[in-house]
Amino acid sequence: MRRLALALVALLAAAAVAGETLKTLSYSCPGAGLTAIAVKAGIGDVEVLGGTASDVVVSVDLTRKGGGLFGDRQTPREAEAIEIEPRLAGGELTLQLKPEHRGDAHFSERWTVRVPAALAATVKLGVGDVSVLDTSGDIVVRVGVGDVRIEGVFSAVGEVRAASGVGDVTLRTPEGRTEGTGFIGHTLSGHGPGTATVRADAGVGDVTIRLR
């Protein structure tokens, strides 16, 4: 059962392999006044990078998929209509593409999101991989099919919870390594000396959390 599910992950990932770039989208805004950022994406990869800069800087490559499970019917003209839609409410900036496209869309999204390190970060992705690196605020990641990687500073983190319906879950800290418990699905919890919470959930895929 687990081998079958992991084979499905590989198949979906292969089907989503990027071909030519149809369009590159850009967005930026001052980080002053923001407390959190949320990214909602369909199929592709999302990378959130914390840093010392005070602005939020976003780049999204829309790339044609190379046939396979999803076909290759998306045209450059259709991709031209897509833009990043930012929404600001209560200090949280939410980013997603508009018009919305379904899970059977024939292009993938490759997000690179650079943020001030202190911002809380939420990522929701249907199919693909998510990385959240070097942020010190709360982190929430939910992926339907794909792997999750979170790296940060141990001293900033308090509660950690992670789960995978089908896949491995691992937490590494200066205090040691913890593996998730379970047979096909795995879960784990941990706690650090800080206040930020880390929560990661993959339906099918591995979750790796490394706190230095």
- Residue 80 has a pLDDT of 84
- HSE value, Cβ hemisphere, 13 Å, CA-based, for 71: 7
Q: What is the pLDDT of residues 154-172, one digit of tens each?
A: 999 999 999 999 999 999 9
Judged against a pLDDT cut of 60, whether residue 130 lies above it is answered with yes
Residue 100: band (very low, low, confident or very high) from pLDDT cuts 50, 70, 90: confident
0.85 surpassed by pTM: yes
Using CA atoms, how far apart are residues 89 and 191, in angstroms rounded to an integer?
Answer: 30
Using CA atoms, how far apart are residues 101 and 111, in angstroms rounded to an integer?
Answer: 16
C-alpha dihedral over 98, 102, 103, 105, to 10 degrees?
-80
Q: What percent of the chain has pLDDT over 90?
A: 76
Q: What is the pLDDT of residues 58-94, one digit of tens each?
A: 999 999 865 444 444 545 667 888 999 999 999 999 9
Using CA atoms, how far apart are residues 80 and 78, in angstroms rounded to an integer?
Answer: 5
- Residue 64 has a pLDDT of 82
